[in-house]
Structure 1
Amino acid sequence: MALRLVQVNFKARDDSALGQFWADALDWGVSSEGPGVTNHEPPGLVLPDPAAVCVDVVTVQDPESVKYRAHLDLATSSLAHQAELVARLKTLGATSADIGQGDVPWTVLADPEGNVFCVLEPRAIYGDTGPIAAVVVSCADPRAMARFWKVAMDWTLHEVTDDFARLRSAAGVGPYLEFVRVADITVWTRVHLDLRPYPHDDQAAEVARLRTLGAMDADIGQGDVPWVVLTDPEGNEFCVLTPG
C-alpha cells in the first residue's frame, strides 16, 4: 500500500486567470474537469503516470482563509535562463517578493494572487526535473516530516538533516518534495498537496494507514466530497483522492 503525489493544488479567487498564469509560466497545457477548476499537465502526459506531478488551480469562496506552508521552486538551466524566466514571469503578472530571504542567488516572486514561489539559479540536481524543481514545505522538524512522508508515499528519501529533507519519486523522475526547517513560520501560501492511491488500492484503507502514522482528519469546509482531507504531523492539510 502506498500513495503517490499527483498534483499541487492552488486555492484562488479566479482559477481561470491564475491558471492561465501558471500555464504560461510552466509552458503546460490547460484543461478543466469542471467549473471553478483549471488543470495543468506537462506536454505529452498520458495518465495514469505514477511519476507525474500536475498543478490544479481551484476557485474557493474565500481563499484568504485557506493557508498552507508550501511553495514551488522553478528550475533553470543557466544564469541567463534564470534572468530570462524572471523577466518573462513579470510580464505575465508576477511581482518581486521579500520574505526576508536576504542576499540569495535565487529570485523570490509572487504570482498574481500573491502566492510566493522561487526561481532558482541553475543547480545540477534539478537538471532533469522539468520546470518544477521542487515542492517545498516549511516545517519545524524535517526529520519527522521525512519519516511521515516517506512511509505515506512510495517516494525515496535522498537526503535528511536537522534542517532539510529531500524525497523524490521512486522512478527517479519529476520534481522533488523538500522540507525546510523554519524557526518562525510566518509566511503562508494557499498551496497544498493532493495524493492518490494506485488504481487497485483502497482509499479508506490508505486513509486509515495514514492515521496510524500520525495524520489527523481536517474540516476545511469541504462538505460531501469524494476526497478525504487530512493534516500531516505538523498540521499541513493534504487531500487523499480516489484511486486512479
Structure 2
Amino acid sequence: MFLENLGIDATDPVRLGRFWEAALGTTTLTAEPDIVETRLDLDGTAYLDLCFVRVPEPPTSPQRLHLDLRGGEQQQEVAARLRELGAGDLDIGQGEVPWIVLADPEGGAFCVMEDREEFVGTGPIAALPLDSSDPERDADFWAWLTGWVDVDGQAPRALRHPSLSGPLLSLYPEPAPKVPGAKNPIHLDVRLEPGDDADEIAAQIAERGGWELRHNWGDLPWRVFQDPSGNEFCVLPVPGAAA
C-alpha cells in the first residue's frame, strides 16, 4: 500500500490539469474531458500522480489540504511565472507572511514558499499541508497508511517518502473542525499492492480511528474513507482487481 494520488476536483479538468502540469513540469498520463492525470516523479522509482476529476459545480468547501510549492531564493520569480500561467494573487487573511498565496485558475489556494531547510530536495511541491484535529494521532495514522516516515519540519508532525524525496505531508492543527458532508476539494489516494487485502485494510483503518464513508457518488471502483479528523481519502484496488 502506498500513497499514489492527489485527487483534485475541477469543473474543467483539462484547463486546471494543464495549468498544474505547466507549473510542476509533470508528465501527462491521461487527458480526457472528464479526467486529466499527470505524474510527478519523486526519485526515479516512486511517484505522485495528480488526478483532476470533473465535478458539476465549483468546490465551496474549505481546503483542508493544499499545495505548497518550493520557491526558495527564486520565490518571486516562481510566483511571477505562475501568474503568467494563469494564477492570481489571493488574500485569505494571511497578513504579513513570508510565503506568497496564489489561486489557481479555478480559485484553489496554494502557496509559494520561502527558503526553508526542510524543503531541500523536495522538487516543485515542497509540502502538502493537511488540517488535523490531532496532528500526533493523524501523523501516526498516515505513516501507517502510506509507509512515509517522520522528518523534521515546522509542522507539529511531518512525513516524507522513505527515499526522502518529494514533498512533505505536514500535519497542522485545523483552524476549524471538518464540516460533516463537506467534501475536501483536494484529497489523497492510496493504492493497494499485490498481497494487500482490501477488507483487512478497511478493518485496520477503523481500528486506527478512521471509517468508511457511505456516499451517494454512485458505483466506484475504489473505496472511500475518512481519517480520524474526517479528511476523505480513497483506497484504490490492486491494478486489475476489484475494490
The alignment's TM-score, normalised by the length of structure 2, stands at 0.87
Q: 1:175 aligns with which of 163, 167, 173?
A: 167
1:129 to 119, 122, 141: 122
**Structure 2 partner of 1:195:** 190
Per chain length, whose mean CA-contact separation is higher, i.e. which structure has more relative contact order (CA < 8 Å, sep 6+)? 1
Instruction: Output one character per residue of 1:17-48: Cα deviation in whole Å (capped at 9) or x when no partner.
Output: 001110111111223175511011136987xx
Matched position secondary structure for 1:235:
coil
Farther off after superposition, 151-160 or 139-148: 151-160
Distance 1:221 1:65 in 2: 18
Q: Structure 1 regions of 5+ residues with no counterpart?
A: none
Query: Within the alignment, does 1:226 sit opposite 2:218 as a pair?
Result: no
Percent sequence identity is 37
Matches within 5 A, 1:77-92: 77-78=72-73, 81-92=74-85
Taking structure 1 as reference, are residues 101 and 36 closer, same or farther at Cα in structure 2, changes over 3 Å only? same
CA distance in 2, matches of 1:186, 1:98: 22
Q: After TM superposition, list the pairs within 5 Å mapping 1:157-172 onto structure 2.
A: 157-159=150-152, 164-172=156-164
Structure-2 change in CA distance of 1:14 and 1:171 (3 Å): same
Give the structure 2 partner of residue 243 of structure 1.
238
CA distance in 1, matches of 2:164, 2:48: 13
Distance in structure 1 (CA, Å) of the matches to 2:25 and 2:18: 10
The residue type paired with residue 231 of structure 1 is Q
- When the two structures are superposed, what TM-score results if normalisation uses the length of structure 1? 0.87
Q: Residues of 1 paired with 2:169 and 2:189: CA distance?
A: 13
- For structure 2, the residue ranges without an aligned partner over 5 or more in a row are none
Task: Say whether residues 1:26 and 2:19 are aligned partners.
Answer: no
Aligned equivalents of 1:178, 1:243: Cα separation in 2: 27
Quote the residue 2:65 is aligned against.
70
- Structure 2 CA distance, aligned partners of 1:34 and 1:94? 22
- The equivalent of 2:88 in structure 1 is 95
Identify if the C-alpha distance between structure 1 residues 33 and 216 changes in structure 2 by more than 3 Å, giving closer, same or farther: farther
- Is residue 115 of structure 1 aligned with residue 113 of structure 2? no
* 1:210 maps to which of 205, 210, 230: 205
